A and B are shown apart, each in its own frame.
Chain A
Amino acid sequence: GQSLEQPSEVTAVEGAIVQINCTYQTSGFYGLSWYQQHDGGAPTFLSYNALDGLEETGRFSSFLSRSDSYGYLLLQELQMKDSASYFCAVKYYGNNRLAFGKGNQVVVIP
């Protein structure tokens, strides 16, 4: 079956580093994606891991370990605009449908 678990909320100060974890219980998927969603807005794509290891995109990095059924998103040099919800999503084989995790709200404070 499918299940993606994420912790619910974290508060951090500007300039800090936050790691958002994602554990899943599924198999047969292309990879793990990460999306950012501001209140009232649509999800925007951040990062994608098809292979194990670290993908770095500017201040954001994402990691995947298929053997551990685990991934994380690392937000560095936090800025106020990073206050948002962050979702991991597994992309399944076939029609590439996405299954989203429960999401993690990040609140950045001065």
Chain B
Amino acid sequence: GAVVSQHPSRVICKSGTSVKIECRSLDFQATTMFWYRQFPKQSLMLMATSNEGSKATYEQGVEKDKFLINHASLTLSTLTVTSAHPEDSSFYICSARDRCGGWGETQYFGPGTRLLVL
């Protein structure tokens, strides 16, 4: 099946620093990528929809200036957590939609990035 990678898989940083997470579709082109956040024992919450070549669409309550998303190519989207604080510590997961997929296609999830802000 289709493969989506994320880098880094785990990051620990100091409060106030910025962290960039990459999401790549390895064997298909993704016009749309999605960024989710998941706190322990909770569900995945969609943060934003990233469209190649255009601005991301953020879900209600997600600060676009804090979570910067760039989808510069059909295989790469990045999420930058700016001025990270301990409450931003979470599991960040991306998913990608195959541009050649039909209406019934699935989203392919990356392995996730675990962020810990000290």
Contact = CB atoms under 8 A, between A and B. Distances in A.
Interface of A: 30-31, 33, 35, 40-45, 48, 50, 87, 95-103
A89 to B, nearest CB: 8
Interface of B: 32, 34, 42-46, 49, 51, 57, 93, 95, 97, 103-112, 114
Given A96-B32, A96-B105, A100-B44, 11 more contacts: A31-B104, A41-B111, A43-B109, A45-B107, A48-B104, A50-B104, A95-B49, A98-B46, A98-B95, A100-B43, A100-B46
Given A95-B51, A96-B32, A97-B49, A42 B43 contact: no
A44 B107 contact: no
A40 B40 CA distance: 9
Contact of B106 (A41, A48, A87, A103): A48
Given A95-B49, A96-B97, A42 B112 contact: yes
Contacts of B51: 95
A16 B112 CA distance: 31
B44 A87 contact: yes
Contacts of A97: 34, 46, 49
Contacts of B57: 95
A45 B93 contact: no
A96 B46 CA distance: 12
Contacts of A44: 109
Contacts of B97: 95-96
